[in-house]
Amino acid sequence: MKIGYSALGIVATSALVLAGVGPANAAEDATLGDIRSAVETRAVLPATATTAESIDLSDGLISAPGSDGGDVQLRLPGTPRTAAESDELALNVTGGAGYTTAIQDTGDGTFRALMHIESAAAPREYRFELGEGVELIPLEDGGVTARDAAGDILGTFEPAWALDANGAAVPTSYTIDGSTLVQSVSLTSATAFPVVADPFWIPALLVMARLTSHAASQAALRGVSQAMIKQVVQNGAKSAGNKGTSIFTQGSGKNRIRVIVDNKSGNVVTVTKG
């Protein structure tokens, strides 16, 4: 299955099953509504150079264009199912007890791997397996970068995110198990189901010289301008960050800005404030 965008707008492309066909039953209609309502609250990514690339989906394995021209592969949790496609969303891709997964192709190689968690019977952990040779490294903003065997950044998972049926945030976070990203979702007796959660993958595309799309989105969320980022890198205190990165810090308290830079490429990986 291939779902994606063209340079001029959203296009439902050909698929191996149910190409261009909407959800087949009431349950899929409800799932589609839940997911669309939830993802509308997600921040919009800064514009990058638009590509005609789209993601491929087969038996629960996602292949998306990476920053180095190769493909990044991600295996979804659960057992593969017969997916249904609706515009840029593929529903019922995999599933297990109390949950199903969906994929939203958001263009330029970015995608959301969404969990539609239906009840308290669902797991509290969801495992997303990347290919061999991929190293996952946590970021200070709660996201996770993926690097290839040469140490180059392939892309970034945005900080873990989950919403309940009332639009309230559900506690969620990542842990790393080798080349597997594990998303934990806190479900309690007070949780309003269904819950929608996702890892959001962004290739290491540049919005401008030295600023990745992930860094730009995190800076925008925190009201940090590109001029402020440059100021912190030029004049801030430098310290060692997580593997392969340096941290430039300026300010204090709620105005403290930290800019995390990849040592190998010199690109800004992310920005935090406070």
Same-domain check for residues 142 and 235:
no
Range of the domain at 48: 2-204
Same-domain check for residues 91 and 220:
no
**Angle, in degrees to the nearest 10, between helices 226-235 and 213-221:** 100
Which of 204, 221, 240 terminates a domain? The answer is 204
pLDDT at 14: 23
pLDDT at 49: 40
pLDDT at 208: 58
Same-domain check for residues 88 and 189:
yes
Three-state secondary structure call for residue 39: helix
pLDDT at 52: 39
Same-domain check for residues 129 and 257:
no
Same-domain check for residues 224 and 151:
no
Written as one string, the DSSP assignment of 232-265 is: HHHHSEEEE-STTEEEEEES-GGG-EEEEEETTT
Same-domain check for residues 103 and 212:
no
Give one word for 76, left, alpha or beta, with left for phi > 0 and alpha for psi -120 to 50. Answer: beta
Instruction: Please state, in angstroms and as integers, the Cα–Cα distance from residue 195 to each residue in 27, 95, 101, 158, following that order.
Output: 15, 14, 12, 18
Same-domain check for residues 200 and 226:
no
Same-domain check for residues 49 and 179:
yes
What DSSP designation does 12 have? -
Which of 157, 189, 204 terminates a domain? The answer is 204
In the block, residue with structure tokens 């990347």: 130
CA atoms within a 13 Å half-sphere pointing along the CA-CB vector of 4: 22
Which of 204, 237, 256 terminates a domain? The answer is 204
pLDDT at 57: 84
Per-residue burial over 163-173, b = 16 or more CB atoms within 10 Å of its CB, e = otherwise: bbeeeeebebe
Mean per-residue pLDDT pooled into runs of 10, the chain (274 residues): 38 27 64 85 52 69 74 92 85 94 87 94 96 91 91 91 96 97 95 96 73 89 91 90 93 94 91 95
Same-domain check for residues 161 and 218:
no
Same-domain check for residues 175 and 221:
no
**Amino acid letter, 35:** I
pLDDT at 162: 97
- Give per-residue pLDDT as tens, 61-103: 998 876 656 678 999 999 999 888 887 889 999 999 999 999 9
The terminus-to-terminus CA distance of the chain in angstroms comes to: 42
Same-domain check for residues 125 and 151:
yes
Same-domain check for residues 194 and 214:
no
pLDDT at 85: 85
Domain count across the chain: 2
pLDDT at 256: 96
